[in-house]
Every structure is written in structure tokens, then in C-alpha cells.
A = this chain, B = another copy of it.
Amino acid sequence: MAEYKAPLRDMQFLLKDVFEADKLWARLPGVADVVDPDTADAILEEAAKIANEVLAPLNREADEQGSKWEDGKVTPPEGFAEAYQTYIEGGWNGLGGNPEFGGMGMPKTLVGQFEEMIQGSCMSFGLAPMLTAGSCLSINAHASQELKEKYLPNMYSGVWSGAMDLTEPHSGTDLGIIRTKAEPNGDGSFNITGTKIFITWGEHDMAENIIHLVLAKLPDAPKGPKGISLFLVPKFLVNDDGSLGERNDFSCGSIEKKMGIKGSATCVMNYDGAKGWLVGEENQGLACMFTMMNYERLAVGIQGIGAAEASYQSAVEYARDRLQSRSPKGAQSPDKVADPIIVHPDVRRMLLTMKAYTEAGRAFSTYTSTWLDRAKFTEDADEKKLADAMVALLTPVAKAFLSDKALESAIAGQQVFGGHGFIREWGQEQHVRDIRITQIYEGANGIQALDLMGRKIAMNGGSIYKLFSDEMKAFAAENEGDAAMAEFIEPLKTAIENLDGLTAHVLEAAQSDVHEIGSASVEYLHVFGLTAYAYMWAKMVKVSQAKIAEGDTSGFYDSKVSTARFYFKRLLPTYEGLTSSVKNGAEVLFELDEDKFVF
């Protein structure tokens, strides 16, 4: 198993060369004060040390041990508690947090790279700070000043962690039907009663307190999604002086046995009249949750590419070391018993597929982060409006396409190992099992696709889509005259045209059959993602060619150009069949009666 190395070089390439984050940071109010390129470099280098040296060594054994539940207590795998201390002592927990309450205020463009390292080195561990950061986002955006002052500093420091309690046994995607109740105590607090499931790190002993954000229904709340409120429910009540008081009335009833991310505890939480405080307005709970959704969903996509990168690094090392058969062109290592398998075309195809998808995914998440930063920090109303729209459009793609392609990559990374890929000690099968959850949680990928096609595209007649399409076209037009770019710009233009056409087709078809949206959505999202990755690769090639022209001989930029060429020639064309499939419509989905699926 190769040792994980955070892909620092590639992250710096994206931040500096491709997206010129320094310029973005310098002009965004609030960001310029906290980060400059040197600080960013230092942060990423330090973070890489934590990822490579503290977290990555825990990953394999954590999968074997899992978190343990006994009598309501959860014990994380060996080494997690110590790693958590190291992590919070390094100040990492509040990297993107609000400086007013002790956060570091770093932009997502930087934080996203950091998250990839943490998740890529040990996803089970990374979920703890990820859920805390998500909870903090909601509290910071919606809670009262009093709650913020009481809770955020200890959450940003990591002394306390956070958890998000949405799902119930009968209610996952459809949160409108939750049953957990919140009854007012008359003193500003509420009594929370109900059962929540799938609560990541809902219980553990790494932090002194765990702050749960719980969706529940007030008495007489309207039915459905408009009757849900959000409550802050701490494991230990917090006294006015900030010290911890009595244990709140809820407990962890069990943890799930899962396919992957076994080191993390996925908890059943039982609330028996636990004390909680309202976050945001009554019945606005879903909106309060959605505040952090774009960040969390992007973070899930980033988890996927983080683990796919780890799988890729191992696969490359194995493909260079493993000797098996000869190249079709004759022995390449005649002194050895066989050639390293990296000489075989299909092994190269698998490795390049992983490289092309993972690096494009990293670029796309960084690109999406630039829009999150612009939306959060700009003081220009027009820019804010544009950025909000772009974030809304790009987020479901970043969540679903990154995670789908991450699974595809990890499966390839396992296949490179042959039989050894199926054996746990080699680590490759764990990446497959871990990545699989990223397609499911934070809104299953089918739901992301519906969000994209239905809400983000159809509901505004494609006007937001057009912003993105126009941006891609402008890039293509700018580079029209660049002969060295022609091999990339031509197929990019064709892909954009195809996506434009497909978007128009679905919008039109949906006029007469609303099922066309859901029928098209998943394959549409893939065509969108493939096109967006082509745009990312074209952007990466553009700056790489400039670097090569400037005399760079590291090979890094040539590697980008070669990988882009592979992407355009061998992966991008898969949109063709998907496009045909979408255009063939919804009707065939509804011929079969529900009772005629199995005989």
C-alpha cells in the first residue's frame, strides 16, 4: 500500500496558475486580511503533514477496528482521540470559521484543498471536523448572538464537536414527514423527543461536548417541509459561565454496521425530552439547514476525489512495481522476470482514467469554491447574485459527478491490483467501500440530479444554466485563434453545443410530460459533468502550455497536457450515448406496472 501524499503540487497549480486565487483573495473584503499566497502555502504544507503523517497511518486499521458502541458510549478506533487532539491543537477545526467567534475566516478555495487532504488520508476521521464545520455554518448564519457566543468558540477550537440530526427511520429524502417533536418549556428552551438515525459522529469521546442540530416539529406546525424547525441540542448543558452542566436527556442507542467509513460512528440518537434551543425562525428549519448544504455537498464531492487520489497513488505505485507478462511490443525490462504492468495499454487506460477524473474533479471543486467565496465575501450586489446562482447550479454537479467518478476511479484502482485489490490489507477495496457513501449521503446522487435538472435548470427556464454555458463559450472563443489549443477547443465547443441542445430538449419535453425531468436527470447530470470537466481540462491546458512555453522542464505541465488529451479522446465521448438515452425520453420508464417487475 502506497503511503498517501497530499497532492500539494496539484493544489498549488490550481490555486495559483489556473484560478489565480491570489487575485480573488486580494479583492474580496475580509479575505485579503486573513490570507495571502505565502500564508496559503504555509497552511497547505502544514496540513499536508497532518494528513500524511497523522491521519493516513490510521486509515487501514480504523477500518478493521471500527468505532465500538457499548451501553450508549462510543469508542473510536485506536489513535483517533490522539489524532483529534493534534488536529484541534493545530487550530484546524475553525479554518473556515467566523473570526468574530474564534474562526480563522479562510476562503473555501483554500479550505477545500485542506478538506481534500484530510478526507483523502482518513475519511472516517475527517467526518468529525466536517460535521462540526457544517454545524457551525448553520449556527453562525441563523442562531441568536447569545447561542453563537455560547457555542461557536468551543466548536471552532474543536473542544466541542458538532453533529447534524436530520434523518429518521421513515424519513430520509422526504424530511417533510419527520416525527420528532419540540415542545416549548416557556423559558425559551424546548423539549425534544424522537429518534434520529444515520447521525455521523453523534456520539464519541474525542470532544468534551457534542452540539447536535436537530430537525423537529413544533406543536401545531404546518404539515410537510414548511413545518420543520431547527434546534441546538448539546450533549451536556452549558452553564452561563461556559462550564459544562448536567447531561442532556438523549443518548446513542446503537451504531450502524456499514459497508465503509467504518472508523466513524453512525449513530441512532434517542431524544427523550432533551433540552434544545431554536436556531433561526420557527418552521424555517429546512432553510437553516440548506445554508450549509452547498458547503457540505461540495465537501462530499471533495471526499470522493480525496479518496480517489489515495487509490490512484497506490495504483500507480503498484503498476510500476508489479511484474507480470510482457508488453505487446516485447520485453521492456528484459532483466526482470516480467515487465511492470504499467507497460500494458489497459493498465495505462485505467490509471489515466483515474488521473483525468480526479484532477478534473479537483479543478471543478476549486472552481465551485471560487463562486462560494465570491457569494460569501463580495460586497457587490450583482456579483453576489451571479455567484449565488452559479453556486446553486454547480453544487449538485460537484456533489454527484465528483462522487460518481470517484467510485469509478476507485474501482479502476482496485482492478489494477487484480486479486490483491480484493484483499483488505492492500487498502484498495476500502477506498471503494468508503467512497460509495459519498454517492448516497447529503442527498443521494439521484436527488442531486433532480435538484440540478428540476430546480436549478427547469424552474428558471435555463437562465442560470446559460450563465455557465456562456462562460464556457467565452473561454472557447478567446482561444479560438490559438493553434496549440485547437485540439481541445474544438471538442469542447462540440460538447457545449451538445449540452445546450440537450438542456433545451429536456426543457421542451418537460412542457408536455413532467416526468421528463426525473427521467433525464441522472444522465443529464453526467453529460453536464463531462462537459464541465472538458472545460476544466481546457483551462488547465491553457496555463500549462504557457508554462511550457516559458521553459518549465519539470514535466508537470506536460503531464497535464497529456492527461487532457487522454480525457478529450477517451473519456469525453461517453456523453454521446448518454445524450441519446436522455433524448429517448421518459415513456419507457412507465410502461411496466408496479406489480410486473418480478415474476
**In the complex, A351 Cα to B588 Cα: how many Å?**
12
A571: chain B residues within 8 A (beta carbon): 581
Shortest distance in angstroms between A547's beta carbon and chain B's nearest beta carbon? 13
Contact among B340, B566, B596 for A589, CB-based, below 8 A = B566
Can you name the residue of chain B whose Cβ is closest to the Cβ of A257?
A: B424
Chain B residues with Cβ below 8 Å from A586 are 345
List chain B residues, Cβ under 8 A from A566: 588-589, 591
A449 and B346 contact, Cβ closer than 8 Å, known pairs A324-B172, A436-B432, A566-B589: yes
Q: Which segment of A85-93, A214-222, A271-279, A553-561 sits at the interface?
A: A553-561
A167–B257 touching, CB < 8 Å: no
B519 close to A345 (CB less than 8 A): yes
Q: Cβ of A421 < 8 Å from any Cβ of B?
A: yes
Residues of A156-176 at the interface with B, using a CB-CB cut-off of 8 Å, are 167, 170-174, 176
B581–A570 touching, CB < 8 Å:
yes
The verdict on A193 contacting chain B, using a C-beta distance below 8 Å, is no
Question: In the bound complex, how far is the Cα of B419 from the Cα of A446, in angstroms?
Answer: 13
The answer to whether B198 touches A349 (Cβ under 8 A) is no
By a CB distance below 8 angstroms, the chain B residues around A257 are: 423-425
A563 CB contact (under 8 Å) in B172, B576, B577, B592: B592
How near does chain B come to A154, taking the closest CB pair, in angstroms?
29
Report A312-355 residues with CB < 8 Å from chain B CB: 312-313, 316, 320, 323-325, 328-329, 337-338, 340, 342, 344-352, 355
Alpha-carbon distance A69/B327, docked complex (angstroms): 39
A9 surroundings in chain B (CB, below 8 A): 599
Report the separation of the CA atoms of residues A312 and B597 in the bound assembly, to the nearest whole angstrom.
9
- Interface contact B260-A422, CB-CB below 8 Å: yes
Beta-carbon contact of A593 and B555 below 8 Å: yes
> Do residues A422 and B440 form an inter-chain contact, with CB atoms below 8 A?
yes
Question: Which of A19-27, A360-368, A510-518 lines the interface with chain B?
Answer: A510-518
Among candidates B167, B198, B340, B589, residue contacting A345 with C-beta atoms closer than 8 Å: B589
Q: Which of A480-527 contact B (CB under 8 A)?
A: 514-515, 517-519, 521-522
Q: Which of B173, B337, B450, B569 contacts A585 (CB 8 A)?
A: B569
Measured between beta carbons, the chain B residues less than 8 angstroms from A419 are 167, 172, 197-198, 440-441
Contacts A346-B450, A518-B346 known; A439 to B415 CB distance under 8 Å? yes
A352 CB → nearest B CB, Å: 7
State the Cβ distance, A94 to closest chain B Cβ, in Å. 29
- The residue in chain B whose Cβ has the minimal distance to the Cβ of A554 is B599
Q: A429: which B residues are within 8 A, CB to CB?
A: 258-259, 436
Is the C-beta of A573 less than 8 angstroms from some C-beta in chain B?
yes
Interface positions of A from 415 to 445, Cβ below 8 Å from B: 415, 418-419, 421-425, 429, 432-433, 436-437, 439-441, 444-445
Q: Please give, as numbers and ranges, the residues of chain B lying within 8 Å of A349 by CB-CB distance.
A: 519, 522, 589
- Decide if A177 is an interface residue (CB 8 Å cutoff): yes
Chain B residue nearest to A179 in the complex (CB): B337
Asked if B517 and A328 make an inter-chain contact with CB atoms under 8 angstroms apart, the answer reads yes
From A342, A415, A556, name the one whose CB has the most chain B CB atoms within 10 angstroms.
Answer: A415
Chain A interfacial residues counted at CB < 8 A: 107
Contact A422 B174 (CB under 8 A): no
A198 to B173, CA, bound (A): 42
User: Which residue, of A256, A316, A573, has the highest number of chain B Cβ atoms within 10 A?
Assistant: A573
Residues B422 and A348 in contact, CB atoms below 8 Å apart: no
Asked if A594 is at the interface of the complex by the 8 Å CB criterion, the answer is yes
- A515 and B590 contact, CB distance less than 8 A: no
Interface residue A10 (Cβ < 8 Å from any Cβ of B): yes
Chain A 3-47 interface residues, beta-carbon cutoff 8 Å to B: 5, 7, 9-10
Q: Is the CB of B577 within 8 A of A591?
A: no
Q: Answer whether residue A574 sits at the interface, using C-beta atoms and an 8 A cutoff.
A: yes
A148 within 8 A of B: no
Q: Mark A535-557, 1 if CB is under 8 A from B, else 0.
A: 00000000000000000001110
Question: Would you call A144 an interface residue if the criterion is a C-beta within 8 Å of the partner chain's C-beta atoms?
Answer: no
Q: Does A65 contact B (CB under 8 A)?
A: no
Partner of A418, one of B172, B514, B555, B558: B172
A395 to B320, CA, bound (A): 30
- Chain B residues near A411: list those with CB within 8 A: 407, 436
Q: Enumerate chain B residues within 8 angstroms of A594, measured Cβ to Cβ.
A: 320, 340, 342
Q: Is A584 an interface residue (CB 8 A)?
A: yes
Min CB distance A310 to B, Å, is 11
The reply to whether B597 and A346 form a contact with Cβ atoms under 8 Å apart is no
Is there a chain B Cβ closer than 8 Å to A562's Cβ? Answer: yes
Give 12 A-B pairs besides A176-B325, A569-B584, A573-B577 with Cβ atoms closer than 8 angstroms: A167-B419, A260-B422, A328-B515, A329-B515, A342-B594, A345-B518, A346-B450, A411-B436, A429-B436, A559-B592, A565-B591, A569-B588
Nearest 3 pairs between A and B by C-beta? Answer: A345-B518, A573-B580, A574-B577
